[in-house]
Structure 1
Amino acid sequence: MTPLPHDRHWLPHDRYCDELAHQVGLLRAVVTSGADLSATVPTCPDWSLERLVRHTGGALRWSEVMVRNRAREAAPEDRGPWGEGPVSAAELDAWLAETGELLVATLREAGPDAEVWSWAGIPTSGFWARRMTHELTIHRADAALAVGQPYEVAADIAADAIDEWLQIIELVQRTVPHDAARELRGPGRSIHLHATDGPWGTVVELTEDVIVRRSGHEKATVELRGPLTAVLLAFYRRLPLDSPELEVRGERDLLEFWLERATFG
């Protein structure tokens, strides 16, 4: 497989481990807040809050097995002894706590460079530390939004989550040329993501080949402006573009076109 674009401008491995532990704690707080675990998650409408937590914890456990075993290929997605049926908030919380402790301990022991299979062609434990940090960060947003809790994420994590998402889109364009990825190709169009609460900005240029991303601020076909957390959530399709925190300048149709087609594949 052609690897994920890997410029290694990642956060330190320990930063991902620390954030995983932090985000697990925040997700546990949602679980134990008295929220209805059977309630539908608006940003993942096929899931209840319980199912969202099961999915997220299951992904963390699966990646922990992969790293612990230094897997050479994808492990079966049997993500631990977690059956179907009703479960209490206390049981779900305990399982999630154990999940986080297992994953963080395994990642710290492995360090960033242990050889582990990945679907993105970066066969390292560091890939899984980064990927699971952002998997958890975004699904914690789903949970918080579902129960009406405020959501915020550290600027370095939010910026890295956007950068990883763009790298994944580039990977999909190069290796899984399905219709949606092909439709994003074509010159003369660009998207500027602009944080209004700090210096961060990035530009996504659509080309005939694959997207080109670069840091900084410059004129673009369309600009998405707002606090970095809000830009992150909008770019991950968790926050509507009409939200009061956000401003869209320029050709909004292009941004909507992107959001409809940017996908893992």
Structure 2
Amino acid sequence: MIGTLDHERYCAEVLAEADAFRRTVRGGDLKATVPTCPDWTLEDLIRHVGGALRWVDTTVRTRATEMVPFDSVPEYKGPAGSDPAALDAWLAEGARLTTEALRGIGPDTPIWVWAPGQPSGFWARRMTHETVVHRADAAATTGADFLLDPEVAADTIEEYTQLICMIPTLRPDHESNRLLGTGRTLRLHATDTPPGTHADWVVDLSGTAPAYRHTAEEATVTLHAPAADLLRVYYRRLSPDTPGVEITGDRAFLDEWLSVSSFG
């Protein structure tokens, strides 16, 4: 899985996105339901993001060769009680520690990663996009704006597309595998990416595993939108009927795809 940004940029983005997440949740109702993750409250979301940061920090600092149990991660669950200031400080410290660990290990160290064959750089990229997507969840809860550099948004789409292509290996029983062999394709077209940044992704379900390519070809269905909106539709964080998102082609296939395209 090759990213479009370098390791230092990913490390910087982990810290920047964590700070943006903290601003997004600040002042929010901790008991509010997260509309894009309705099993969670805003406090649950905060603890999920903070716990993920602590888990990756421990994984990277210990150069783990197998999955680190969550219950062995220091301060994984966060502070007792629901004091917003304590939660914010816990998040800030977790982001700092994780960024330090990622910078210290570099991108090429062998380490445990849940995606096959990936070195330590996987975690800097993964935590960038993990935090991006959960910031979208937070914005949907608090009503804050969701602003994102189109270059980072495009790489978020790129990474998710790469992961989708691993589904038959990672999850042979995944519901989306039933779409394989149907000859259908999904194209994502970002309308605002800068020159030199990917603007098109075609996910091809013709074979025994998903494949993708960067072309502007005609597809079974195409989504056109600014990259930040495109990634939120792709991740099922934004309705495809949102103003500014254009759909051409087979809408029923898009709905079918979105109904099964989750790693959860």
Same fold (TM over 0.5): yes
Shorter-normalised TM range: over 0.9
Output the CA distance in 1 between the equivalents of 2:170 and 2:50: 28
5+ residue gaps, structure 1:
1-5
* CA gap 1:61/1:97 in 2 versus in 1, 3 angstroms: same
TM-score of the superposition, structure 2-length normalised? 0.93
Task: Indicate the residue corresponding to 1:3 in structure 2.
Answer: none
Equivalent positions of 1:15-30 (< 5 A) are 15-30=9-24
Give the equivalent residue in structure 2 for 1:80. Answer: 74
Deviates more, 1:169-178 or 1:203-212: 169-178
Structure 2 gap ranges (5+): none
8 A contact 1:58–1:80 mirrored in 2: no
CA gap 1:251/1:66 in 2 versus in 1, 3 angstroms:
same
CA distance in 2, matches of 1:53, 1:83: 9
* Inter-CA distance 175–142: structure 2 relative to 1 (3 Å threshold): closer
Asked if structure 1 preserves the Cα contact closer than 8 Å seen for 2:201 and 2:212, the reply is yes
Letter in 1 for 2:12: D
* Contact 1:173-1:210 within 8 A present in 2 as well: yes
Give 1:108's aligned residue.
103
Distance 1:14 1:226 in 2: 28
Distance in 1, Cα, partners of 2:179 & 2:156: 20
Q: 2:167, 2:174 within 8 Å by CA — same for their partners in 1?
A: no
Please tell me the residue identity of whatever aligns with 1:20: V
Farther off after superposition, 22-31 or 43-52: 22-31
| SS at structure 1 position matched to 2:125 | helix
What is the Cα deviation at residue 179 of structure 1? 5.0
Match of 1:231 in 2: 230
Q: Provide the residue aligned with 2:39 in structure 1.
A: 46
Q: TM-score, normalised by structure 1?
A: 0.92
Is the CA contact 2:102–2:124 (under 8 Å) kept in the aligned structure 1? Answer: yes
Deviations 1:125-183 (A, max 9, x none): 20111111111110011001110011021112111111111221221123422151321
Q: Distance in 1 between matches of 2:43 and 2:84?
A: 9
1:195, CA displacement in angstroms? 1.3
Is 1:134 the equivalent of 2:129? Answer: yes
> In structure 2, what residue type is equivalent to 1:246?
V
Q: Which moved more, 1:82-91 or 1:46-55?
A: 82-91
Partners of 2:160 and 2:47 lie apart in 1 by 23
Report the AA paired with residue 58 of structure 1: G
Please give the alpha-carbon distance, in whole angstroms, between the structure 2 residues aligned to 1:23 and 1:76.
25
Paired residues, number: 258
Structure 2 matches for 1:211-222, cutoff 5 A? Answer: 211-222=210-221
- For 1:127, the aligned partner's letter is F
Q: Is 1:120–2:115 an aligned residue pair?
A: yes
CA RMSD of aligned residues (A): 1.6
1:179 and 1:37 map into 2 onto residues whose CA distance is 33
Where in structure 1 do 4 or more consecutive aligned residues deviate above 2 Å? 78-86
Structure 1 residues 103 and 175: alpha-carbon distance in aligned structure 2, compared to 1, 3 A threshold: closer
Say whether the 8 Å CA contact 1:26–1:140 is kept in structure 2. Answer: yes
SS in 1 for 2:74: coil
| Paired residue secondary structure (1:44) | coil
